[in-house]
């Protein structure tokens, strides 16, 4: 690949003790964090003459499960000889706002670091939710950008990161996007470029200064749930995926099913295809007055937004809805059993 004119002249604005600039992507499977991290490292190495390394961490579930992608960049005279997870990033990018509730997404963020969040909320609202100070917070609606451009969230995120890390050349990343997708998926290139450009343009940053609490929390990281003193014996799974206390809301990719009771005929086609038993039933009577099981609604705690129920419904009693903050909590119907959360 041809290098840009800036190759070999880039200098990192800040570095850690080893001379690295560190970026951590916090996402769920299906949002493209893995390829976004790979492309960030490639842009730095192939187009701007930096040294770079990238790898991702994710579970076997892939789509819907938490994903982390780690990117290290260094100047040409600084080799990268480590491949451990990044614990003290300069930039954290959160692909899904719901991860704030379920994952320690800003653990180890360096003082003065940058947090980028895919959300409709303002930087001040996200700061309140994260509880961080001495940081620059950027927010933008990457999901809407991706839908409107026919692209993916990761392309918008690349644009936001290029805006936050000013040493990254946006033209280099756009050239890499073209090179990466033009051979196998040429039709996606224009949409991906528009998505990148809108992410670069629409991200809005706000700087929050340090406070006493921020000084006390500097470098603080959440303790690991398990260690050598309390690790379960081999073969024990303390938190299985079908556990009643599981919260799958962070697995949704911006959409969920909306239920219309007036149209429903209680055929249970939705329940047959639902992989997570989201639908809540109760004893009642059908339209002829006979005893029957009647669908009450959806427990969105268990809904991961696969929308299989929308496809299966024969009477359009379920439709795809763009998720808005607080909507699922306001419309959820809880299961009536002892382990149900919120009883």
Q: Tokens 């024990």 appear where?
A: 236
Give which of 128, 96, 88 is closest to 112, Cα–Cα.
Answer: 88
Query: CATH 3.40.920.10: does it fit domain 20-217?
Result: yes
**How confident is the model at residue 322, as a pLDDT?**
87
**How confident is the model at residue 304, as a pLDDT?**
87
The three state secondary structure string of the chain is CCCCCCCCCCCCCCCCCCCEEEEEEEEEECCCHHHHHHHHHHHHHHHHCCEEEEEEEECCCCECCEEEEEEEEECCCCCCCCCCCCCCCCEEEECCCCHHHHCCCCCCCCCCEEEEEECCCCHHHHHHHHCCCCEEEEEECHHHHHHHHCCCHHHHHHHHHHHHCCCCCHHHHHHHHHHHHCCCCHHHHHHHHHHHHHHHHHCEEEEECCCHHHHHHCCCCCCCCCCCCCCCCCCCCCCCCCCCCCCCHHHCCCEEEEECCCCCCCCCHHHHHCCCCCEEEEEEECCCCCEEEEEEEECCCCCCCCCHHHHHCCCCCEEEEECCCCHHHHHCCCCCCCCCCCC
**How confident is the model at residue 254, as a pLDDT?**
80
CB 88 within 8 A of CB 18: no
Q: What is the pLDDT along the chain (343 residues), one digit of tens a residue?
A: 333 445 557 889 999 999 999 999 999 888 889 999 999 999 999 999 999 999 998 876 556 678 899 999 999 999 999 999 999 999 999 998 888 887 889 999 999 999 999 999 999 999 999 988 889 999 999 999 999 999 999 999 999 999 999 999 999 999 999 999 998 999 999 999 999 999 999 999 999 988 655 444 444 566 566 777 888 788 777 766 666 777 777 778 788 999 999 999 999 999 999 988 899 999 998 878 889 999 999 999 989 889 999 999 999 999 999 888 789 989 999 988 655 555 4
* Domain 20-217 matches domain 249-331 at the CATH topology level: no
pTM more than 0.75:
yes
Q: What are the structural domain ranges in the chain?
A: 20-217, 249-331
Q: What is the largest CA-CA distance in the chain?
A: 80
Residues 185, 7: Cα–Cα separation, whole Å? 27
**How confident is the model at residue 4, as a pLDDT?**
43
What class does CATH assign to 249-331? alpha beta
């Amino acid at each position: 690949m041809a290098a840009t004119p800036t190759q070999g002249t880039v200098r990192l604005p800040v570095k850690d003790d080893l001379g690295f600039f560190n970026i951590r992507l916090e996402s769920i499977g299906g949002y493209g964090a893995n390829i976004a991290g790979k492309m960030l490292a490639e842009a730095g190495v192939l187009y701007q003459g930096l040294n770079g390394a990238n790898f991702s961490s994710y579970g076997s579930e892939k789509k819907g499960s938490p994903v982390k992608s780690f990117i290290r960049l260094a100047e040409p005279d600084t080799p990268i000889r480590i491949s451990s997870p990044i614990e003290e990033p300069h930039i954290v990018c959160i692909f899904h706002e719901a991860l704030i509730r379920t994952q320690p997404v800003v653990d180890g963020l360096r003082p003065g670091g940058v947090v980028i969040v895919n959300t409709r909320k303002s930087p001040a609202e996200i700061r309140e939710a994260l509880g961080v100070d001495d940081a620059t917070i950027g927010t933008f609606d990457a999901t809407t950008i991706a839908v409107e451009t026919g692209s993916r969230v990761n392309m918008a995120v690349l644009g936001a990161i290029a805006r936050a890390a000013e040493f990254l050349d946006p033209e280099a990343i756009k050239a890499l996007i073209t090179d990466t997708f033009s051979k196998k998926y040429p039709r996606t290139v224009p949409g991906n470029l528009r998505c990148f450009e809108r992410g670069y343009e629409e991200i809005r940053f706000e700087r929050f200064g340090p406070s006493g609490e921020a000084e006390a929390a500097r470098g603080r990281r959440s303790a690991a749930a398990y260690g050598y003193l309390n690790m379960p014996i081999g073969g024990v799974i303390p938190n299985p995926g079908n556990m009643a206390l599981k919260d799958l809301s962070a697995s949704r990719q911006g959409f969920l099913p909306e239920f219309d009771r007036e149209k429903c005929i209680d055929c249970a086609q939705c329940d047959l295809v639902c992989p997570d038993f989201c639908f809540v039933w109760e004893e009642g009577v059908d339209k002829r007055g006979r005893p029957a099981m009647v669908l009450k609604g959806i427990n969105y705690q268990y809904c991961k937004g696969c929308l299989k129920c929308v496809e299966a419904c024969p009477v359009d009693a379920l439709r795809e809805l763009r998720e808005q903050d607080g909507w699922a909590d306001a419309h959820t119907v809880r299961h009536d059993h002892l382990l149900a959360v919120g009883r």
